[in-house]
Structure 1
C-alpha cells in the first residue's frame, strides 16, 4: 500500500489507560494515525481491541472508564472534553461494527435511515440533496442498482450488502476518522475481500484515516499500512505488515503467526474420507425451497429461489463442510435440514424418515438425534436463565430423567466442554464469546445426538478461540462418534476439520469433493475464486487477480438462463449462457457442475455449437 501522507495526525493517542473497576483493561496505549492511513489492531479475545475502539468513539459504558492518558483528535483532548467527544461521535469520528444485521431499524427502508442520519448531522441539507448523496455513496460502495436498493428494507440486503450500507452510514457525514471494528469477521471470504478493497479505495478517495480492529492476522496484514499487536491490554509491537511477518519482535506475535492454520501446507491434518461402503446418516435428494415476497412499489409477488435441486449424502462419522458466499443458500439449507422449514420438493432422509414431510410429533422425536449450534454466541442464549437451567431444558422438553439426573447430566456435559462446575448457577452475562459457544455446544450435546449441524458456529470468534473449540470438536467426536455438518465461510477451518466439502452458489451445489481434492485441484471456477480470496500468509496457489469475483451474484428472483455463475466467470463461453451444467464425476469421488470438466473435444464441439 502507499505510504501515508506526511501531515499532522488526525488522531494521536498518548498513554491511554482504561479500567473496569480496579482491573486494568488497557495500559499505556500510544500511537498516531494520519489521513489516508489504515492502522490495523490485532489480538486475541480479551486483548482490549474493542475497548480501545469504544474509548476512541466515546462509547465506554460503566464500569469501564478512562483512567489516564490523552485522546487527541485534531489536537483537542477528548478525554478532558467529554462534551466535545460526544458532539464528534458519529459525525467526525465514525464507527462501524461487525453486526450489520442488527444495526438498522427493520421497519424503515435503508435509504430513509441514511437520509435521517445525514440530516441529523447536517440540518442545512434538504431531503432531496441528502437522498442524492446517499445514493451516490451506495453506488460508491458498489451496491448494484443503488437507486432501487435505496428503497429496500434491511432484511432485503445480503450480509455483504448490509456491511456496505453500514459503511455508507458511517461515511455519509464525511468523517476524517473511521473506526472499523471487526467489520469483515462475519462475512464470507469473497465479500470480505471486496469490503477490504472498498475500505482501501474509500480511504484514499476521501482521505479518511481508518482504525481497523481485526481478529485475523492475515486480514490485518492485507488491509493495513501498519499493524499494532495488542496483548492483555498492552501494545506488544507495531510494524508495517511485511516487517511484522518477516521479523516479529514479540513472542506473542510469533505465537499468533505459529498458530495460524494453513490452507496449502500438505502436512495439514484433515479428517480422512470414509472408504469402502460408507453408511449415510443424512441423504438429501433434489431439495428445493423458494420464498414469495412482495417488493416495495411493485404489484404481485416475487419468487426468491433460495435452494435449487440440492443433492448429497453425509456419512456416519463424516465431517461434511458446506461453503459459499453470503446469500448462496447455506442458511436456508440449514433450516431445511433441521426441519425448521419444509422444502417445496425433494427428500431429506435422516434415520430412515423424511425430515421434510414428517409430522410434528415425529419431527420432535427426530430432533433428539440431530442438533443445531448457531453462529451468534450472544443472541442464541436466554440471558435471564442460569447455565444449569439452559442445559437441563432440552432434557425436560423430551422428558428425560429425574431432576437429580438432569442436574448430574448438565454438570457432566459442562465438564466435557471445559466450563467450570462453579458456573452452574451463573447467568451468561459474564461469559466470553468462546465460553458462550462452549455452552451452545454443551446444550446440543446433552441429548447425545448422532448429527450436529454447526451453522457458522466459530465465525464470531478469534483464531485462538477457534483453535481451542476445533480441538474440543475433535475430542468430542472421538469420544461420542458424532457426525458433523460444518456450514461456514471460513475456509481455513473447513480445511482443518472437514473430510468432504460441498460448494454452494446461488442456491445450487456446484462442487462436492474430498478435502485435499478441493483445495489442491478444485473443479469449478467459483471454488478457485473462494480459495483465492481466503486470508492467508502463505504463498497463494490461486491468484486473486485471476480469480477474485467483483460485485454480487445475479438476483435469485430473476435468474439468468444457463449457468448462474457465467456472468462472473473468467472462463465462460456461449454454451454456459444457454445451458445449466449438472454435477459430473471428476473421479476420486469428486463432482463438479462445470462444462470445463468435460473432455476437451466435447467442450470444443459444444463451444462452437
Structure 2
C-alpha cells in the first residue's frame, strides 16, 4: 500500500458460516485504489463481485462472514474497528450506489428532501436552506432537467436514468473519498449509461474520489477504469492496467471474456436462412394514448402519447428488432402486437386478418401462434409451480395434450432449450436468471408458435449467459422458421440476431433499416447517438464526442412541435421545428429515416 492509496484490500476472504466445508464465497482478494482512480471489477454472474462491493461498506450479512483479510481505508484497518465507526463512515467518507435505482429511496418522500436530510445529518453546520441550494446545484451538475422542480418530485416520477443521477448526487454530496458503484449501468439505456460514465469521470476529478466500479460488461469497464480486476468463482484471476490487460491477457478466463465481447462493426450482419417476403405481421398507422391524472388540476387528465402512427411489416421467418431508449414506446408496441391492449387508431394484422376483428374465441386460438416472453426472469414465472407444470400449463389451457403425450412434449422442449430433465419436478427457487429465462422460452415454444415477441428478454443477463441464449434463438429460428421480434435497448444484441431493425423515439419509428445499413450508415442522428454509446472494445464509426446526447427525451405528455428529436439533436435546422418529418428512403435496400438534415449531410 502506498501512502496515497485511499483503499487497500489485502487477502480478503468471505465464507458461508452454514457451509464450513464449502468453497469460500470470496478467496484471498487483494487490490488498492488511489485518489482519482477507477478500479474496474468484472466477471460473470456468480463471480463474487457484489459480495465484494458490499464487503467494502460492511454490508456482509449472515450467514456470510469475513473469515480473513484486511481492509485499509486511509491506512486504518476497518475490520479491526468497532462496527459503529465503520457504520458512521458509510455515507460520509465511503459511499455506495447499487444496481437498482428504483428501490433505493423512500417512495413516500420527495427525492430532494431525502438527500437534504442526509446532508444536514452528515454536515450539521449547514442549514436546511443551504443544504437545499447545494443539492439543487448538484442536481444541475448531473444534468437532471428542471432541477428546482425535480427536487420536489417523488421517486416514481423519476425515470431510471434520472434516479441513477439522483443516487450519484446522494453519494457525492458528502464529498466521499471512496465510492463503490455496483453494476449501476446494467439496467440503463446505452445513451444514459454513457452519460453516467462521462458524469462519473468528471465528478471523480472534481471531488478527487477513488471509485470501485463493479460491472459484468468488459466494454463498460474499459470505458471508465484505469485498472481492472477479473473475478471468477470468488477469486481474482488477473489484474492490471486496462490497456495492458486488453492487449496481453494472461489468464484463459480473461481471454474468454474478451472473446465474448461482441464485435458490432467487425461482425457479419445477421441473415435468417428462410424468409418469406410476404408479411406475417403488418402494423398500420397504430397509435396508443393513455389518460393519466393531472397532479396540478383537480379531476384533470393528461394524455401520454405512448405510440404515435407506427407502420411497418414483419416478414415470415425473419428476426425483426425494435430499439430505443426507455419510454420510447417499445413495450407498449409489444402489448399492441400481442393483443394485450388494443390500439386507439390503426390496426395490427396477422396473415392479413385484423386482430381487432377477431372474437374472443378466435383470439384465444390465435394466441397459440403468437407468444410473448417478458424481461424479468424472477417475476415472469410462478414460484409455487414446478418447472414441468409451468411449461405444461399452456398445453392444458388450449387443451392440446394430455397424459403421457403432454409430458413427452414438455420433456422435448426442455431438452431443446437446454434445461436438465432432472429439474422437471423442482420449483424455480434454485434456478439462475438464465435458467429461469429458459423456462419462459420453453413455456412459449411448447405451443409451437409462429411468432415470438421478446420484450427485453435478455437484458437482465450477463454477456456469457446472453451469448448462450442468442445461440439458442438462432438455432430455433433455423430449425423452426419462427418469426422473432426482439424489443431491446441492447444494440450489440440486435446486431447479432436481427435482419431488420426499427428505431423508436417518443412513440414514433424514426428509422427502419436492414442490419448492415443501420450499423454502417445510419440515416438518423438519434440512431447514430445510440451507436456512439455502445460499450465495445472496437473502434466506433460514430464518435461519442459528436453524437452522444445530454439529458432525457421530452415528456410524452408535452411532445415538441415538429421533429420530436430536435430538442436534443446537434444538427437541427429551422425546418425541424415546423413540421414532423416522414420516413424517407436513404439507401438502395429501402432503408428509411425521418430526418430533414438527411444521411448525406450528417458528419
Q: What TM-score does the superposition give when structure 1 sets the normalisation length? A: 0.91
Secondary structure of the structure 1 residue equivalent to 2:25: strand
Q: Which range moved further: 415-424 or 74-83?
A: 74-83
Unaligned 5+ segments in structure 1 are: 1-5, 604-609
Distance in 2 (alpha carbons) for counterparts of 1:228 and 1:69: 18
Secondary structure of the structure 1 residue equivalent to 2:244: helix
Distance in 2 (alpha carbons) for counterparts of 1:303 and 1:273: 43
The answer to whether the aligner puts 1:102 opposite 2:98 as a matched pair is no
Distance in 2 (alpha carbons) for counterparts of 1:364 and 1:133: 57
Q: Which range moved further: 441-450 or 376-385?
A: 376-385
Distance in 1 (alpha carbons) for counterparts of 2:451 and 2:379: 23
Match of 1:591 in 2: 592
Distance in 2 (alpha carbons) for counterparts of 1:481 and 1:32: 52
Residue pairs, 1:459-498, within 5 angstroms = 459-498=459-498
Q: Which range moved further: 515-524 or 135-144?
A: 135-144
The verdict on how the C-alpha distance between 1:449 and 1:74 changes in structure 2, with shifts beyond 3 A counting, is same
Per-residue deviation, residues 513-532 of structure 1 (Å, max 9, x unmatched): 11001111111111111111
Per-residue deviation, residues 408-464 of structure 1 (Å, max 9, x unmatched): 333322221111111222232322222222122122222222111111111122211
Distance in 1 (alpha carbons) for counterparts of 2:515 and 2:433: 28
Distance in 2 (alpha carbons) for counterparts of 1:340 and 1:507: 18
Q: CA deviation at 1:84?
A: 3.2
Maintained 8 Å contact 1:273/1:500: no
The answer to whether the aligner puts 1:9 opposite 2:5 as a matched pair is yes
Per-residue deviation, residues 16-44 of structure 1 (Å, max 9, x unmatched): 11223222222111011122211110112
Q: CA deviation at 1:580?
A: 0.9
Maintained 8 Å contact 2:272/2:319: no
The verdict on how the C-alpha distance between 1:240 and 1:377 changes in structure 2, with shifts beyond 3 A counting, is same
Maintained 8 Å contact 1:319/1:498: yes
Match of 2:512 in 1: 512
Distance in 1 (alpha carbons) for counterparts of 2:194 and 2:222: 12
Distance in 2 (alpha carbons) for counterparts of 1:148 and 1:566: 23
Maintained 8 Å contact 1:342/1:357: no
Distance in 1 (alpha carbons) for counterparts of 2:359 and 2:130: 55
CA root-mean-square deviation = 2.5
Q: Which range moved further: 102-111 or 54-63?
A: 102-111
Per-residue deviation, residues 259-283 of structure 1 (Å, max 9, x unmatched): 2211111x525124877x6121211
Q: Which range moved further: 149-158 or 21-30?
A: 149-158
Q: Which range moved further: 238-247 or 591-600?
A: 591-600
Residue pairs, 1:120-131, within 5 angstroms = 121=122, 126-131=127-132
Match of 2:280 in 1: 281
The verdict on how the C-alpha distance between 1:96 and 1:237 changes in structure 2, with shifts beyond 3 A counting, is same
Distance in 1 (alpha carbons) for counterparts of 2:142 and 2:218: 24
The verdict on how the C-alpha distance between 1:44 and 1:280 changes in structure 2, with shifts beyond 3 A counting, is same
Q: Which range moved further: 310-319 or 389-398?
A: 389-398
Residue pairs, 1:186-585, within 5 angstroms = 186-265=187-266, 267-272=267-272, 278-298=277-297, 300-356=300-356, 358=358, 360-585=360-585
Q: CA deviation at 1:244?
A: 1.7
Q: CA deviation at 1:129?
A: 4.0
Match of 1:3 in 2: none
Q: What TM-score does the superposition give when structure 2 sets the normalisation length? A: 0.92
Maintained 8 Å contact 2:272/2:317: no
Secondary structure of the structure 1 residue equivalent to 2:79: coil
Match of 2:86 in 1: 85
Maintained 8 Å contact 1:7/1:35: no
